[in-house]
């Protein structure tokens, strides 16, 4: 549990450092194998995370729930990644209280959903990645994050309409904002799988 709290703290520091100066792009290696390594004297000029899948999922989690596993929002979305009940049922998760109390299950559910969304959007990723729509460079990670927000079907509509069909959730977060915010992460570790299981 201490490692998880430390990781969440490091992610929060990274997000704050990135928000202060978005122009800095040098990377200092940080390992994620039950250890987080960073310079002894933290300085935002030298502290960066690799933009890999771990960084992607933690950034999505921070946006969704500030990385809190037990969070339930006002619309009933659950956990660190704010899953809807119907999405959980797709993965045969019916006990929401058990889900909220099980960080490992939440992590597995997020990975499984990314795999399913990547399968659903595989053609759209191939066609759209690298293009610019409404001033936003489209990337695979942005597409997966947007699918997490709005569902893969809404992302398909957005991409296939060249950005004219839009979607925002009840809190005002839009497909466009997720495409932009979560752009450029390396999510190649996620393999498209329509039958992904938890």
Q: Answer yes or no: is pLDDT of 39 > 90.
A: no
Q: Which secondary-structure segment (H or E) carries 110?
A: helix 103-120
Every domain of the chain and the residues it spans: 1-50
CA dihedral 25, 26, 31, 32 (to 10 degrees): 0
The answer to whether the CB of 198 falls within 8 A of the CB of 93 is yes
Confidence of residue 76 (pLDDT cuts 50, 70, 90): very high
Q: What is the pLDDT of residue 105?
A: 98
Q: What is the pLDDT of residue 48?
A: 55
Alpha carbons 129 and 143: distance in angstroms, whole number: 8
Buried b (16+ CB within 10 A) or exposed e, 159-176: beeebeeebeeeeebbbb
The answer to whether the CB of 115 falls within 8 A of the CB of 126 is no
Average pLDDT over residues 48-72: 93
Alpha carbons 42 and 53: distance in angstroms, whole number: 23
Q: What is the pLDDT of residue 86?
A: 95
**Between helices 53-65 and 2-20, what is the axis angle to 10°?**
90
- In tens, the pLDDT along 86-127 reads 999 999 999 999 999 999 999 999 999 999 999 999 999 999
Most confident of the following: 9-23, 157-171, 176-190 = 176-190
- Residue 117 is encoded by which pair of tokens? 């969304």
Q: What is the pLDDT of residue 1?
A: 55
- Residue 25 is encoded by which pair of tokens? 């792009």
Q: What is the pLDDT of residue 175?
A: 95
């Amino acid at each position: 549990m201490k490692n998880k709290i430390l990781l969440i703290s490091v992610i929060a520091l990274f997000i704050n450092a990135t928000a202060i100066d978005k122009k800095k792009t040098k990377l200092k290696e940080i390992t994620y194998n039950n250890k987080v390594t960073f310079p002894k004297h933290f300085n935002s000029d030298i502290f960066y995370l690799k933009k890999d899948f771990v960084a992607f999922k933690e950034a999505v989690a921070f946006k969704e729930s500030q990385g809190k596993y037990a969070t339930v929002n006002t619309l009933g979305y659950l956990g660190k990644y704010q899953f809807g009940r119907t999405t959980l049922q797709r993965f045969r998760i019916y006990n929401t209280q058990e889900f909220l109390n099980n960080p490992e299950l939440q992590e597995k559910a997020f990975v499984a959903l990314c795999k399913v969304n990547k399968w659903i959007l595989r053609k759209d990723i191939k066609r759209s990645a690298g293009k610019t729509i409404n001033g936003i460079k489209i990337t695979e990670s942005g597409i997966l994050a947007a699918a997490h927000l709005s569902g893969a079907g809404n992302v398909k509509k957005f991409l296939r309409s060249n950005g004219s069909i839009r979607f925002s959730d009840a809190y005002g977060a839009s497909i466009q904002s997720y495409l932009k915010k979560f752009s450029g992460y390396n999510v190649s570790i996620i393999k498209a799988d329509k039958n992904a299981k938890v």
